[in-house]
Structure 1
Amino acid sequence: MKCNFLGIILLTGLFFTMTTTTQAQEITTKPKSEFWSKVRFGGGLGLNFGRNNTNITVAPSALYQPNQYVAFGPGLNYTYQKFGDFKTTLVGASAIVISNPLDFLQLSGEFEQLRVFQSVSGLPDIPNSWNTALFLGAGYRLNVGGNSLGAIGIRYNVLFDDNDSVYADAWQPFVRVYF
């Protein structure tokens, strides 16, 4: 009788173990990540040609938008400028945070770090340098393709220095579109 009782306990234990394992496998099924559905791509492209001058900018970026009010992400920047004999190449990265507190308003903060390469034909090389900018901006939100991450506005470089900047002015207009 002890043998039958022990056998029943072992079979019962085995049954509960198998049932619990099956239920645990059903419960631990991972949901699909929604990360990529919240990522937006965009950036800027600038072309300017004139008499004896050229300015080309390519600035792709990406944003992660966890909700309708905030988005943030990295960006890259490449700019080539030529004015007569003077050439400048800028290569760098940025980080941006965008806030949409109202339906029509977009606020932004953008930190940018650029490596500056400059030269003038016929003169000794100009030492390479770094340019740092911190832009605070405000713009009117645009609805592009059902996406409200577009904006047109103005931004201000709070770190601007007339004697040490690759930008002509601290104030800069912007057009921003992310898809």
Structure 2
Amino acid sequence: MKKFIIPLMLIISGSIFSQVSIGTTDQNSNNRWTFGGGIGLGFGSQSSFYLQASPRVGYRITNDLEGGVMGSVSWQTSDYYRSTMFGVGPFANYYFARSFYVGANLQHYFINFKDKYYDYKVNEEETALYLGGGYMQRIGNNSFMQIGIMYNVLWKENESVFSSGLIPNIGFVVGL
């Protein structure tokens, strides 16, 4: 089971925190809602295929603080296994100096895994609390590229479906 988790988390790490937010931050605007998400796609050996999407909706509480709800859904299949994972939970991001951010994301995952070779099925649930931050590089008027790292503080070795608690992330944010 751990063999499918490592590639899954690597792909998720690049896409779950990829964000495209729509909204404005100028002082005259009353629109504080942000929308966005990420998408991941992967192919590999043994006919493996991976597809992931992570929609999000947020609200700018202040110009530097944003809170909202994020979801995640992923499908992974190969000659030997098939898995589906759904996650949902709140997030908060604090932006400072327009070059850095810190964030928290609580996700509750519902995992369905089937080993095709042994006809073994697993249905599990797991909660993850990701804390971290990183650097933001402006790439346009209200567009930023984020490079950071998150850590699941609830992760426990040999008790989690995830192979590690550490999640690097690269993403894009529009509307900050």
Q: Which ranges of 4 or more aligned residues in structure 1 deviate by more than 4 Å?
A: none
Q: Distance in 2 between matches of 1:46 and 1:114?
A: 17
* Structure 1 residue runs without a partner (length 5+): 1-32
Deviation at 1:46, TM superposition (A): 0.9
Q: Distance in 1 between matches of 2:34 and 2:149?
A: 21
Deviation at 1:45, TM superposition (A): 0.8
Q: Percent sequence identity over matched residues?
A: 26
Q: Distance in 2 between matches of 1:140 and 1:163?
A: 32
Deviation at 1:148, TM superposition (A): 5.5
Instruction: Kindly indicate whether the alpha-carbon contact (under 8 Å) linking 1:42 and 1:177 is maintained by their aligned counterparts in 2.
Output: no
Q: Higher helix proportion, which one?
A: 1
Deviation at 1:150, TM superposition (A): 4.7
1:130-141 equivalent positions in 2, closer than 5 A:
130-141=125-136
| Pair 143,42 (structure 1): closer, same or farther in 2 beyond 3 Å | farther
The alignment's C-alpha RMSD in Å is 2.0
Aligned twin of 2:124: 129
Deviation at 1:102, TM superposition (A): 2.5
Q: Distance in 1 between matches of 2:159 and 2:79?
A: 21
Deviation at 1:68, TM superposition (A): 1.9
Number of residues of Structure 1 aligned to a counterpart in Structure 2? 145
Pairing partner for 1:69 from 42, 60, 64? 64
Higher Cα Rg, which structure: 1
Aligned twin of 2:34: 40
Aligned twin of 1:177: 172
* Structure 2 residue runs without a partner (length 5+): 1-28
Q: Distance in 1 between matches of 2:78 and 2:93?
A: 34
Q: TM-score, normalised by structure 1?
A: 0.72
| Pair 150,42 (structure 1): closer, same or farther in 2 beyond 3 Å | farther
Aligned twin of 1:163: 158
Instruction: Kindly indicate whether the alpha-carbon contact (under 8 Å) linking 1:156 and 1:172 is maintained by their aligned counterparts in 2.
Output: yes
3-state SS in 2 of match to 1:172: strand
